[in-house]
């Protein structure tokens, strides 16, 4: 089944999110928040480009604009991919388990689905961490008039990162292949720690500058 959540209006998407349906869920919501987060950094960079006062960082802002646009589009694609990864899992739940052979087949299929389902939020975590790095750069080099937006970018991306982390763990916690699960969890924990620490630092630095 194909999904195209990015083509829905905000009202349509959030109404479907609020309804009694399996998708979209937390993963799709996190991807949407991530796209908003990088868009805020992009906006701050866009208002900096071409300003004589910030001429020395113009090339940096143009690079950030390009990368943020790539990340924004990728995050929107992950909204759909998260739902697509869940679809096979919903079918596995319906598989019969009357015989030992059926139970083994179902367990094997579920294991494959769990690995696929964990892969999408892992990608989102990587994206969020890069987005937070860009928000940090924008907060330091970008227009002072847009500094609050850089802080909002970091805050939104931290929220998306934390949500994606939960979605990784809910899948790895059910895996029978513990070695694989632990490899995924180790990388996820590393991204979570690094990303949340940097996002909080960006937010606090922006807050301090605004307060004067």
Token duo for residue 139: 């907060």
Q: Which domain holds residue 194?
A: 25-211
C-alpha to C-alpha distance for 173 and 57, rounded to whole angstroms:
45
Residue 103, pLDDT score: 81
Q: What is the pTM of this model?
A: 0.93
Determine, yes or no, domain membership for 7. no
Instruction: Note whether residue 20 is domain-resident.
Output: no
Q: What is the CATH number of the domain that holds 146?
A: 1.20.120.680
The widest CA-to-CA distance across the chain, in whole angstroms, is 74
159 within a domain of the structure (yes/no):
yes
- Name the token pair of 159: 């929220």
Contact 15, 155 (CB under 8 A): no
d(CA 129, CA 132): 5
Tens of each residue's pLDDT in the chain, 212 residues: 568 898 999 999 999 999 998 889 999 999 999 999 999 999 999 999 999 999 999 999 999 999 999 999 999 999 999 999 888 887 888 888 878 888 888 888 889 999 999 999 999 999 999 999 999 999 999 999 999 999 999 999 999 999 999 999 999 999 999 999 999 999 999 999 999 999 999 999 999 999 98
| pLDDT for 71 | 98
Rounded distance, CA 19 to CA 189, Å? 31
Nearest of 94, 80, 100 to residue 24 by alpha carbon: 80
Q: Let me know if residue 191 belongs to a domain.
A: yes
Q: Is residue 17 a part of any domain in this protein? A: no
Q: Which two tokens stand for residue 123?
A: 């990608």
Q: How many domains does the chain have?
A: 1
For residue 135, the model assigns a pLDDT of 98
Tokens of residue 138, six digits = 């924008």
For residue 1, the model assigns a pLDDT of 56
- Is residue 82, in this structure, part of any structural domain at all? yes
HEC per residue, the chain: CCCCHHHCCHHHHHHHHHCCCCCCCHHHHHHHHHHHHHHHHHHHHHCCCCCHHHHHHHHHHHHHHHHHHHHHHHHHHHHHHHHHHHHHHHHHCCCCCCCHHHHHHHHHHHHHHHHHHHHHHHHHHHHHHHHHHHHHHHHHHCCHHHHHHHHHHHHHHHHHHHHHHHHHHHHHCCCCCHHHHHHHHHHHHHHHHHHHHHHHHHHHHHHHHHHC
Q: Please indicate, yes or no, if residue 8 is contained in any of the structural domains.
A: no
Report if residue 14 sits inside a domain. no
> What's the pLDDT score for residue 152?
98
């Amino acid at each position: 089944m194909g999904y195209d959540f990015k083509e829905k209006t905000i009202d349509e998407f959030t109404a479907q999110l609020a309804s009694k349906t399996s998708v979209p869920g937390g993963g799709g919501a996190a991807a949407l928040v991530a796209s908003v987060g990088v868009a805020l950094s992009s906006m701050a960079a866009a208002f900096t480009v071409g300003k004589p006062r910030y001429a020395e960082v113009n090339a940096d802002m143009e690079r950030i604009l390009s990368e943020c646009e790539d990340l924004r589009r990728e995050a929107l694609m992950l909204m759909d991919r998260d739902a697509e990864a869940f679809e096979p899992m919903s079918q596995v739940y319906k598989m019969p388990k009357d015989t030992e052979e059926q139970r083994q087949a179902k367990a094997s299929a579920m294991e494959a689905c769990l690995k696929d389902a964990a892969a999408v939020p892992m990608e989102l975590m990587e994206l969020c961490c890069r987005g937070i790095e860009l928000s940090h750069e924008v907060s330091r080099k970008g227009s002072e008039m847009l500094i609050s937006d850089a802080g909002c970018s970091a805050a939104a991306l931290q929220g998306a990162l934390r949500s994606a982390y939960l979605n990784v763990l809910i899948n790895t916690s059910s895996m029978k292949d513990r070695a694989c699960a632990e490899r995924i969890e180790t990388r996820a924990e590393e991204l979570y720690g690094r990303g949340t620490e940097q996002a909080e630092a960006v937010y606090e630095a922006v807050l301090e500058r605004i307060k004067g």
